[in-house]
Amino acid sequence: MPDRFTLIFDIDGTYSETEETHREAFNQTFSEYGLPWQWDRPMYKELLKVTGGKERMRHFIERFDPEGGERALPLIPEIHAAKTKRYTAMIDAGAAQPRPGIKRLLDEAATVGWPVAIATTTSMPNVESLIIATLGQDGMRRFASIGAGDVIANKKPAPDIYNYVLDELKIAPEEAIAFEDSINGYRSAGDAGLRSIITPSTYTEDEDFTGAFAVMSDLGEPAAPYRHISGAGGDDTMVTPDALARWLAR
């Protein structure tokens, strides 16, 4: 067994419950472009099955044929860039915080010398804005690798983004563990050979994570233990390096 593991975090829904901020930024940007679209929560939940903001807009137009869709189709990159700018401004203003246990586990990993990384399909500006807003100006330096946005051709559930991070760090899948919140992320990590800690988010709590290495409500805090759902971790209260080492050794 490796003497240390790399912790690879998804961002949206896993690191932070950001999806509502994304949804609001999309809707405000649609209004800015004169598009009569308002994605409510049920619609956005459906659209989240498609990873990537530009891909999500294209799917919406092609699947639902909304008013203004033909005009918007060639403008998708421009609209998405405007949405990203709006979203990062919202994050900079404090719209999102890390989920329970995230900052604690990052600190504990640094203490024991375990690298941390990011594997997400959101754009790099979104990642930078969230990490700086929650970890400070030097926050990005805490991550040994950041796979984000368009560095790969195929987004989750394809394994490409995890393979990218593993290749960049020159480690085998057995030397890392993924942190995810969605079935697309779970499949992406699994097809790259990674075990996953799943912490379902607001939009993914009803998804089926059968077979996942561990599923719990969040990573836990000293005064607020996680709620164990399935897999490893049934006898613990927080995801810590010590707990992970024990679980992975079994």
Q: Which residue ranges form the domains of the chain, and what is each CATH number?
A: 6-18+96-249 (3.40.50.1000), 19-92 (1.10.150.240)
pLDDT tier, 239 (very low <50, low <70, confident <90, very high otherwise): very high
At 229 the pLDDT is 98
Please determine, for residue 107, whether its predicted confidence score (pLDDT) is greater than 80: yes
Are the C-beta atoms of 171 and 6 separated by less than 8 Å?
yes
What is the distance between the alpha carbons of residues 187 and 49, in angstroms, rounded to a whole number?
12
Question: Per-residue pLDDT averaged across 63-74, rounded?
Answer: 98
For residues 156-189, one letter each, b for 16 or more C-beta atoms within 10 angstroms of the residue's C-beta and e for the rest, the string is bbbbbbbbbbbeebebebebbbbbbbbbbbbbbb
At 28 the pLDDT is 98
At 74 the pLDDT is 98
State the catalytic residues. 10, 12
What is the distance between the alpha carbons of residues 75 and 124, in angstroms, rounded to a whole number?
20
Please determine, for residue 1, whether its predicted confidence score (pLDDT) is greater than 80: no
Please determine, for residue 3, whether its predicted confidence score (pLDDT) is greater than 90: no
Q: Is the peptide bond before 157 cis (omega within 30 degrees of 0)?
A: yes
